[in-house]
Amino acid sequence: MSLTVCPLASGSSGNAIYIGDTQNKILIDCGLSGKKTEELLRSRGTSCAELDGVILTHEHSDHIRGAGVLARRWKLPLFTRPGTWGAGGQILDSIPSKQQKLLLSGLTFGKIEIDYFPLSHDAMEPVGLVIRWGKRQISLVTDLGEITPEVEEKIHGSDIFIVEANHDPDMLASGPYPYFLKKRVSGPQGHLSNDDCGLLLSRALNEKPARVYLAHLSEENNDPQVARLTVENFLRSRGRDSGLEIEIAKRYCASLPIKLL
């Protein structure tokens, strides 16, 4: 048996990540339309009917846009923090109450075990996730403006990292965003820069090989090659680039999946 990890889309246009083995399948975030999510899952050889549930990391629309449609159409349970339910507005209010599940402790779906931890972001109760499958570990850390000791501790030594590399500071400073939005993006409740991503990875990697998806890249304030080179150069300068493979999580389509054995 193997575990497949595949970002279906990543960025402010919409976020969704598929994780599953032959017995259990989950979706993390549903920021695309219901139709697009179904299409992308089919492209990965699965369907919404096979999902055990959907986990929402926070209430921003690029993470929950299609959650109501998908939950109602396929009668899927949705798991998220109490504050996210309260802040989710009409999208989450539209979900039948019996499908609204509070994320209060770890979740288990067969061999897939999921734990959560708080992130610093301008949402009500945003969380990062650690997914364990036997001795393997996947960490999801996007939509945060500040690296904390808890984040570093939770994701340390993962086999797969899905980590935010949202913006290049120079591109953000000279880009089209108004000042208040630049301040929000670069602030402690905003988003990680490429350099911040490299710093977090340098602290979270151990000696074993690892795979990395650079995620939630800004379309206006970043460039995939800039992000990759910045992170690679940062890790190389810290002697942390050995045995590391880096992919860019694609914005509008499914990324190349990774399989863990």
Domains detected in the chain: 3-260 (3.60.15.10)
Question: pLDDT per residue over 81-118, tens digit each?
Answer: 999 999 999 999 899 999 999 999 999 999 999 999 99
Q: What is the pTM of this model?
A: 0.97
Tokens of 35: 């139709």
Measure Cα distances from 213 to 138, 142, 153, 228 in Å. Answer: 11, 11, 19, 10
Tell me how far apart the alpha carbons of residues 243 and 143 are, in angstroms, rounded to a whole number: 26
- At position 131, the amino acid (one-letter code) is I
| pLDDT number for residue 198 | 98
Mean pLDDT of 170-175: 98
What proportion of the chain, given as a percentage, has pLDDT over 70? 100
Q: What is the DSSP string of 245-257?
A: EEEEPPSSSPPPP
pLDDT value, residue 185: 98
Spatial CB neighbours of 256, under 8 Å, sequence gap ≥ 6? 6, 247
Helix (H) or strand (E) holding 241: none
Mean pLDDT, residues 56-70: 97
pLDDT tens digits, 197-222: 999 999 999 989 999 999 999 999 99
